Structure 1
Amino acid sequence: MKFAVIGAGFSGCIIARELALSGYNVELYETREHIGGNCYSERDDETGIMVHKYGPHIFHTDNQMVWDFITQFSEFVPYVNRVKTTSCGGVYSLPINLHTINQFFNKTLNPSEARDYLSELGEDKIENPQSFEEQALKFVGKELYEAFFKGYTLKQWGIEPSKLPASILKRLPIRFNYDDNYFNHKYQGMPKNGYTPIFEQLIEHNNISLLLNTNFDKSSIKDYEHVFYTGPLDAWFNFDCGRLRYRTLDFKREVHSGDYQGCAVMNYGDESIHYTRISEHKHFSPWEEHPNTTVIFKEYSRFAEDGDIPYYPIRQLEEKTMLSKYIQKANNSSNVSFLGRLGTYRYLDMDVTIKEALDASQVILKSLSSGKIIPPFFVDPL
């Protein structure tokens, strides 16, 4: 039995691996010249620094199974992501914590006092926040909202915060202590040699044939027992119902001497600065030494157009309506399954992507052994 897997990111590589380990033959298609999807990492030719080509990826999870799985393929070095932001003429820690609050308001509040202080600043009349803006105003008040959320969000999403759902802000914690760890997970780390070797090991199997720089010809679907597609859902159906909207990113690379900004990630909250953040990649691997040179990437966000790399799905009402139509078309399709970030039109962290791919693999293998039909989706995309 021969299977096609389309897309060599985490979803595709894990599905290919699990099928191959069970004795099945897999042809793994990838339109890019490399494996790893947006997690791809490489050495910068000029500086020798390990760079994350498609933006920073810090691995973080509370899932023991996922951690045990991924650490089979690389030594992970403990890494804490300490993000800073430049806003209103100052530099502050993110997420907003007790130090951020005291520094911004020139106070010396303890945790209880800070809670009371923000409660007084918050707009209590907003009882049931519907938008990002209302959620922020209720949580932290106008000053902190405008300093840390409004400009950055407008640049990141290209949509007024008053038109974004409140659920986006619920992912951004506010801490009433001095913890400046951006994430709050049990396991946090960086692969010592970058992410690409992980993908190389994932698909290192005689039953897997890798086809780079290759588009899958849908007319050949009959040649396979089943196809697993991790590309954009709307693209599979030739955009028959319209194009699902994404934000994409542009990166401006610069090489400098020494240390450019003193941290890995510096956000820019002011709307007048057009980029959203600067990533200085040598700080993502502090166990390496690059004292004399550094490479940075200024990150600009915009709406994705045809040919752009899709990063962040814009799941507003219009897109969800269109998504429902594509889900119906997928459910009416045969011999193809959709999974991953693009295949389900959802923003997924790496650990969630891995968990879903491993779970999907179990469903696939059980279906094959029992003669049942492999489902078109393994999660609810809506």
Structure 2
Amino acid sequence: MNILLVGAGLSGAVIGRKLAEAGHNITIVDSRAHVGGNCHTERDAETGVMVHVYGPHIFHTDDEEVWDYVNSFETFQPYKNRVKTTSRDQVFSLPINLHTINQFYNRTMRPDEARAFIEQQADTSITDPQNFEEQAMRFVGADLYEAFFKGYTIKQWGVSPTELPAAILKRLPVRFNYDDNYFFHRFQGMPENGYTQMIERILDHPGITVQLETRFTREMGEPYDHVFYSGPLDGYFDYERGRLGYRTLDFERFTYEGDYQGCAVMNYGEESVPYTRITEHKHFSPWESHEGSVCYREFSRACEPDDIPYYPIRQVKEKALLADYVAMAETAPDVTFVGRLGTYRYLDMDVTIREALDTSRTFLESVETGATMPAFCVAPL
């Protein structure tokens, strides 16, 4: 079969490779001048640093098949994400752990003492948190919430934390030990030569043709037997019902001779600081050595039509609009919507790859059995 994939990021590359290996003819188009989507990495000409062009991507997973898959195309070096945050003229460790708690309160508590102490700080009158702020107040109390979460959240999402769902905070643990590894997955690492080289290797198959700087239109899909679309779901339908809401990021890039901040990620929790964090990219490749440094100040704002969409908002009005587009997608013939933009969901890289592998298998089974390929292999709602 002749198959068109829209987008040369992780979803398009993994699906394209699997279907090409099964003997199908694959064409992949992407509007950008490079493969990799927002995972794109490149060497900075001035410093030699491997830069995550669209912001940092740290690979972490418990999915052994996905870990083996990425390692079959690129060597992954060990990497632990140890995030720091600047608040109240001090630098603290995140996620909140025993060192953070003892430093913040100027105490020397043991784990059981700290657990009891934080429970005293928490607002126990909140039995069923209804929003982000209530969840934080019930979780850690007013002091830690104000110092580490409130300002950062306002900057990141552009709304009061009282307007955000409580579930957002459930992803941020409090640890009553000195473990400062931001993630808890079994497998964590960084591709030795960057994500773009890994994705180029995935795409390196005689059955795959890649066309960059090519903007997709629906008419392009007509000669193909099936289309896998990883662009914005609303964009496929030319924003007929309106635009789904996203947050986008602006990066203020600067270089520094030496070590600017001593870590890869420094958050700024106070609302008075306009950026959410500074990332120093040479620290994402700790096995390399560079005198110069490339840093990004990161600013979050509402996504405009010409911006790159990063984070789906998924509030009540967006979900109502999403339901309309899902209904339209389910009647679109011979197209499957995949990935972060195609399903309007925030996805980590390992989940994106897992869903791409599963989607490939579903498609191959549908070809074999004559079943209809669904518009979504994972429901967006």
Same fold (TM over 0.5): yes
Partner of 2:364 in structure 1? 365
Counterpart position of 1:197: 197
Instruction: Give the corresponding residue for 2:130.
Output: 130
Question: Do structure 1's residue 272 and structure 2's residue 272 form an aligned pair?
Answer: yes
Q: Deviations over 1:28-85 (max 9, x none)?
A: 0100000001101000111110000011111000111111111001111111111000
Distance in 2, Cα, partners of 1:259 & 1:198: 28
Residues in 2 aligned to 1:296 and 1:308: alpha-carbon distance in whole angstroms: 21
1:315 aligns with 314
**Offset from partner CA, 1:165-199 (integer Å, 9 cap, x none):** 00000011110000000000100001111111111
Compute the displacement of 1:222 (Å).
Answer: 2.1
Counterpart for residue 332 of structure 1: 331
Match of 1:103 in 2: 103
SS for the counterpart of 1:223 is coil
Counterparts of 2:149 and 2:319, CA distance in 1: 25
Taking the aligned partners of 2:174 and 2:98, their CA distance within structure 1 comes to 9
Task: State the partner residue of 1:380.
Answer: 379
Q: Report the residue type matching 2:239 in the other structure.
A: F
Aligned pairs for 1:1-382 within 5 A? 1-290=1-290, 292-382=291-381
Following TM superposition, by how much is the alpha carbon of 1:295 offset from its aligned partner in structure 2, in angstroms?
1.1
Q: CA deviation at 1:236?
A: 0.5
Shift of 1:293: 1.4
Helix, strand or coil for the counterpart of 1:319? Answer: helix
TM-score by length of 2: 0.99
TM-score calculated relative to the size of structure 1: 0.99
Q: Which amino acid aligns with 2:375?
A: P
Cα distance between partner residues in 2 of 1:116 and 1:214: 58
How big is the shift at 1:265? 0.5
Q: Distance in 1 between matches of 2:123 and 2:350?
A: 36
Distance 1:242 1:128 in 2: 34
After superposition, give the CA deviation of every residue in 1:248-280 in whole Å (9 maximum; x if it has no partner).
Answer: 001011111110000010000011100000000
Q: Judge which range, 115-124 or 218-227, deviates more.
A: 218-227
| Consecutive unaligned residues in structure 1, runs of 5 or more | none
TM-aligned CA deviation for residue 337 of structure 1:
0.7
Q: Whole-Å Cα distance in 2 between the matches of residues 222 and 304 of structure 1?
A: 31
> 1:4 aligns to what SS in structure 2?
strand
Question: Displacement, 1:377?
Answer: 0.4
Mapped partners of 2:220, 2:70: distance in 1: 33
2:248 counterpart SS class: strand
Alpha-carbon separation, structure 2, partners of 1:201 and 1:257 = 33
2:298 aligned counterpart, secondary structure: strand
Q: CA deviation at 1:215?
A: 1.1
Cα offset for 1:380? Answer: 1.1
Once the 2 structures are TM-superposed, how far is the Cα of residue 220 of structure 1 from its aligned partner?
A: 3.0
Q: Which runs of 5+ in 2 are unaligned?
A: none
Aligned equivalents of 1:159, 1:217: Cα separation in 2: 34
- 4+ residue runs of structure 1 moved beyond 2 angstroms? none
Query: 1:221: Cα distance to partner?
Result: 2.3
The one-letter code sitting in structure 1 at the alignment partner of 2:170 is K
Tell me which amino acid in the other structure corresponds to 1:282: K
Question: What is the identity percentage for the equivalent residue pairs of Structure 1 and Structure 2?
Answer: 59
Amino acid aligned to 1:197: Q
The CA distance in 1 between the partners of 2:185 and 2:198, in whole Å, is: 21
| Distance in 2, Cα, partners of 1:279 & 1:76 | 20
The range that moved more, 219-228 or 359-368, is 219-228
Give 3-state SS (helix, strand or coil) of 2:222's partner. helix
Q: Distance in 1 between matches of 2:243 and 2:346?
A: 17
